[in-house]
Structure 1
Amino acid sequence: MSKVLIVATSRKTRGGITSVVKAHETGKQWNKYHCKWIETHRDGPSWRKILYFIKAYLQFFCLIPFYDLVHIHVASYSSLKRKKHFLSLAKFWHKKTIAHFHPHKPEVIFEKNTQKEYIHFFKSVNRIVVLSPQWQRWIKESLNITENIQVIYNPCPIVNRSNVDRSKKYILFAGTLYHRKGFDTLIKAFGKIANEYKNWKIILAGNPKEEKDKELMSKLPKQLNIEKQIEYPGWVVGEQKEELFKNASIFCLASSAEGFPMAVLDAWAYGVPVICTPVGGLPDIVRNEENALIFDYGDVDTLAVQLKKLINNKALWKKIEEQSILLAQTTFNINNINNQVEELYKSVLNE
């Protein structure tokens, strides 16, 4: 049976790529194709990153002769620069290759000084996997690449929706707390309606990126006089994350850009209605007042209106809850996604 090497970030790293590979790891294709995860990068100091890369490359160097296909997960330009060394070695050994593209913003492939390297990388592989049709369109527009591209969505996790307690009445935000993620927009929007909903609060799960973000986390609620209606539990994992998502009444994604946000997929899995910005691959799926509510990045007033609408309109809330669960069970079903990955491997290996 053919064997597949997976080149991706460390399983200890926070982020979308790690979550996606962990989801793929649960599929039957993982064992069928004897998948081996080469962990190339881990968050932390520079020395740790360098050691991780050296260890990963040496491991890859020793294993590549015995594998048939290399599935490379790549995102930002710095990720591309690391992964191109693995691609070069794979091509030297005449191995089939897949580039699975996880960008965090469209600008990654529209910046003129990096486009040539993305074009070379993508044209060197047998197949490009993107996160939505929108990303397929952007690659065509920015890099003029139209062949050997296919869409495989990130999957929703399998979760336990029993014993849900929505009486706690909170709006959940999950992600790094800095301006590009829009956490300050959510705080300001909630500040506009907080006096009307004294029994509601917002929970912002994540850590600040910079010192100025940490200062804003403290200063902004005080300015708006809503300190008692805001909680910062930090970065959450495991049972704490499960409880926060399961019992949330609303999930808010306020980002300026995304690939296809895993936090929204988590919310859909738990049936939590989502209010979001139309970023990344979301416009391919999200329909305003059908399966989510939408506002533009930084638009505090519209977000406040959407929050009130979802708090007050129980029929709309129920409709979006049902549509969220449906998305998790169909389009983003983890078993369906893993079946698509298996078919991808089969197709590329037979080319």
Structure 2
Amino acid sequence: MSKKAPALIMLGPDPEARGGIASVQRIWLQAGLLDERPVRVLTTYRDGSALRKLGAFVTALLRFLLLLAAGRVAAVHVHSASNASFRRKSVFLALARLAGKPYVFHLHGGAFDHYYAGASFLERAWVDRTLHGAAVVFTLSEGWANWLRINVGHPDVRVLPNPVLPVTLPAGVAREPATLLFLGRLEDAKGVFVLVKAIARLARKFPDLRAVIAGDGDIRAVRDAAERAGVLDRIETPGWVDGGKKLRLLARAGVFVLPSRFEGLPMSVLEALAAGLPVVASRVGGIPQVVRNGDNGALHEADDVASLASALERVLADPAAARAMGERGRRRVLADYGVERIRALLNAVWDSLMTPASERFAR
């Protein structure tokens, strides 16, 4: 395939960065979803200092301008969340509109409604203009699709779930039924402090209860909260983990927990299910479409300590039932969120957008 052929331009964070969007991009690359057509990936964000982040944005913007000027852009697919993520991507999409290039807006993250509600009149108008300019808007769940249809009114909003690959766990790691695993940013929005309080409620009933709370963010605040709750000796905070370290934690844990206040369709939940873990998670975003009460885990109300403690207790009380939940979850998530389903949904849109306009209108 000639590098000079007009390409699909993919805009998003560095696939090796931390976070859900980067995880999705890694899976797309590993599964070869970008191999069937000319694709150029432009990195608009990198982890690190403010200067490194700015450098990634400016470099991607200059490359995008050069590709537009050279006639080498067929269409654009942008991965976006809220706030700064959206603002960065909206600059590229404004240029795509000026150049008459079709684009897909792919909404990730679970706080876009809060961002939209809190935006000024002018910024909300800019959001509307950006989304209405998209040929297709992808969301992670039907709930988010309905929100966009009602609040933004785009005529073509489609659900594109995050994909998951089979998980091969390392041998020789003993499963600990009473060990909880949290993977995510250590911040209030992810519910980590609610989790610490729930652990304190359950500590007497489950003497072996432990929790591995892994991720970047405010580790000190989590440990201070655990100390105040009297459960610091039950908490491990290894920081950010990936690769083999993450797989060992998935192999060791008995239950995965994600008590977020809001979400899209978390990759961590899909990966935990693919690893055969029962999942206890908040009833927000796209989580209820993959976690089903009593079947492959338990749901609880967000920001509610009592509700989370009750959900955890139901799963921890019967380790054999929890293992069966995990196995059901593994089978279902690989069937419903496998890569081939995502490939078909993506190709239908990309093939349409990358067809020359003259051919589209002649049909």
Equivalent residue, structure 2, for 1:121:
130
Q: Which one of 139, 147, 156 corresponds to residue 130 of structure 1?
A: 139
Identity of counterpart residues, as a percentage?
A: 28
1:101 maps to which residue?
A: 107
Listed as ranges, the matches of 1:35-54 within 5 Å are: 35-54=39-58
Q: For 1:171 and 1:274, how far apart are their aligned partners in 2?
A: 10
1:180 aligns with 2:189: yes
Matches within 5 A, 1:83-98: 83-98=89-104
Q: 1:141 Cα deviation (Å)?
A: 2.2
Shift of 1:162: 6.0
Give the aligned partner of residue 265 of structure 2.
260
Q: What is the identity, as a one-letter code, of the residue corresponding to 2:81? A: A
Q: Is the alpha carbon distance of 1:103 and 1:197 closer, same or farther for their aligned partners in structure 2, counting shifts above 3 Å?
A: closer
TM-score, normalised to structure 2, is: 0.89
Moved more, 117-126 or 43-52: 43-52
Distance in 1 separating the partners of 2:244 and 2:279 = 21
Which position in structure 2 is the counterpart of 1:231? Answer: 236
Which of 147, 159, 167 aligns to 1:151? It is: 159
Structure 2 counterpart SS, 1:31: coil
- Could you tell me how far apart the structure 2 residues matched to 1:328 and 1:287 are? 12
Query: What's 1:312 paired with?
Result: 317
Q: Deviations for 1:197-229, whole angstroms, at most 9, x for unmatched residues?
A: 2223100001234xxx62x32322223332221
1:342 to 2:344 alignment: no
Q: How does 1:1-351 map to 2 (within 5 A)?
A: 3-64=7-68, 65-105=71-111, 106-111=113-118, 113=120, 114-145=123-154, 147-161=155-169, 163=171, 165-167=174-176, 169-209=178-218, 214=220, 216-350=221-355, 351=360
| AA at the equivalent of 1:253 | L
Structure 2: gaps (5+ residues): none
Deviates more, 1:163-172 or 1:254-263: 163-172
d(CA) in 2 for partners of 1:90, 1:129: 18
User: 1:253/1:240 Cα in 2 relative to 1: closer, same or farther (>3 Å)?
Assistant: same
Q: Output the amino acid matched with 2:158.
A: Q
Cα distance change of structure 1 residues 197 and 225 upon mapping to structure 2, 3 Å threshold: same
Residues 18-69 of structure 1: per-residue CA shift (max 9 Å, x gap): 1111111133441111222100112333222221111111111222321312
Q: Is the 8 A contact 2:170 2:247 kept in 1?
A: no
Cα distance in 1 for partners of 2:124, 2:288 equals 24
Contact 1:250 1:274 in 2 (8 A): yes
> Counterparts of 2:182 and 2:115 in 1: how far apart (Å)?
25
Q: Name the CA shift for 1:262/1:174 in 2 (closer, same or farther; >3 Å).
A: same
- Asked if 2 retains the 8 angstrom alpha-carbon contact of 1:109 and 1:143, the reply is no
1:309 alignment partner, SS class: helix
Q: Give per-residue Cα distances to partners, 1:64-110, cap 9 Å, x unaligned.
A: 32131211111113222211221122233322211111133131233
Report the CA distance shift for 1:225/1:81 in structure 2 as closer, same or farther (over 3 A).
closer
Are 1:73 and 1:100, in contact at CA under 8 Å, matched by a contact in 2?
Answer: yes
Measure the CA separation in 2 of the matches of 1:126 and 1:302.
41
1:158 and 1:334 in contact (8 A); partners too: no
Give the conservation status (yes or no) of the 8 Å contact 2:169–2:248. no
Moved over 6 A (4+): none
- Residue aligned with 1:195, SS: coil
**Contiguous gaps of at least 5 residues in structure 1:** none
User: How big is the shift at 1:315?
Assistant: 4.9
3-state SS of the aligned residue for 2:303? coil
Higher relative contact order (CA 8 A, sep 6+): 1
For residues 270-312 of structure 1, what are the alpha-carbon distances to aligned partners after superposition, in whole Å with 9 as ceiling and x for unaligned?
A: 0110001011112333322123201112221222222222112
Shift of 1:255: 0.7
Provide the rounded CA distance (Å) in 2 between the counterparts of 1:313 and 1:17. Answer: 35
Per-residue deviation at 1:183? 0.7
Q: Deviations 1:299-351 (Å, cap 9, x if unpaired)?
A: 21222222222112245313421231123211111232233222221133345
Q: Which amino acid aligns with 1:285?
A: V
The alignment's TM-score, normalised by the length of structure 1, stands at: 0.92
CA RMSD for the aligned pairs?
2.0
